[in-house]
A and B are shown apart, each in its own frame.
Chain A
């Protein structure tokens, strides 16, 4: 989580309501990650399987080419590494990076 100042009880909507739609981008789930996907760009064949399977839309693609992983949202679930047919993604423990 970012170190944003949390609001007081008078400043927030009642009942836990979230009054704006499309706000999940504000919830940076990258903080949940224990294992980080590390890509071998040499081995990557740009098949986009990881982009299709990523449940958090955390694979960055530009001009149909894989550019990397958005670590702000990647939870480290490892699905991309599991699905990659080229074996180009390795899961590495964050503490060892």
Chain B
């Protein structure tokens, strides 16, 4: 009976980080309840059959940053984690194309077709970025210190990191400094000449961020995307069989295996705070659940401005959270297709359909797309990162049919006049028209179109302002500042109330990392 049962911990939100935290706590013997507002688990890492027979990775669509120790410790392969390789990145151009594959010889030859020197530089660039990614890894794997009043253990953590940075080579240090400060376009200009190559590489510096490739700070976001590894290979992206929802389900099954209870269609109204301490939650239907600790997997805005009363929080903290930048910059268009898109520049089927398709012919294309958004409109010709999940996993669509996932940037949350039905469809049209420029048959094969604007991402998935990372990955919002100074170690100003979403260190993407580290922090307090 609700209200009677007492839990050690309640996790608000059955997204992949909430589930990860729940799994770790259960694994340590704690009695855990996960409360998910929707009918389905996964949050933004969710698979849904929006159109009969067609499964969509509705929001989040690829996996690369999932931490290997999380996969191992939660035994995710046993519970259904199956990552298929995304083989290539294909950039269609008006009369030509650029394709980068997993094979060094093939990629060298292809880039050399456009620019011989770039082909050679490319072979050095990847390993170098991998090394720098590895150099930054220890930061990602450290619980952020309290930068204002460091504890003893914070100081020893800081010392360890400093010692680590002393081991970097001068070359690594130089590039790390540049990556932390430059725009991705400026950084890449130091290396490469061929514009479509640079533009496609710079695109990982703008994903989920309200910046253009020429905005300072975008180089860091690019590095963030280089830190992923699958099976020890840096910079490898994978597609989860069954869509990203299957990743969440694997974590959920692991959590249940360890004893966690998971409830769907159980929207939380408020945290119950007594004497400055979280003691449980009340659902929208009035049911109450008591627990020793409450952990929010929601973004910082919801965690602090919706789940609790401002009056329960220090006012400067409330200001920090209000200032936390969470501007949505992207939308998602999911298409059910009667066949495969046929690209004019590379007709027919082939490797190029088994990986990412990047609509990024030039910096100007990306920057102009950003310009539209800067002044309150969606991009007329957006940047897109497209994949065809059904090519990798035939079970995503009926035989011979396909699903196409288009991550679209930019779509500002604060669009002039607000989002409405008409604007959503106009945005969908802009996406289809942009694809049609390279694959004209697309218009004839669309069976169903799902268009998600930032407003939809907010209302459906609880992503404030539609930001896919629970807050932008810009320097002032990272590490000891994520989401707010003094409260970057998963604790909050309210006793026994913790946070574990992407709005905490080390940030967004399907990593399991915030969930894991929050759980480990909480377990440390418990013991």
Q: Is the pairing of A and B real? A: no
| Residues of chain A whose beta carbon lies under 8 Å from any beta carbon of chain B | none
| Residues of chain B whose beta carbon lies under 8 Å from any beta carbon of chain A | none
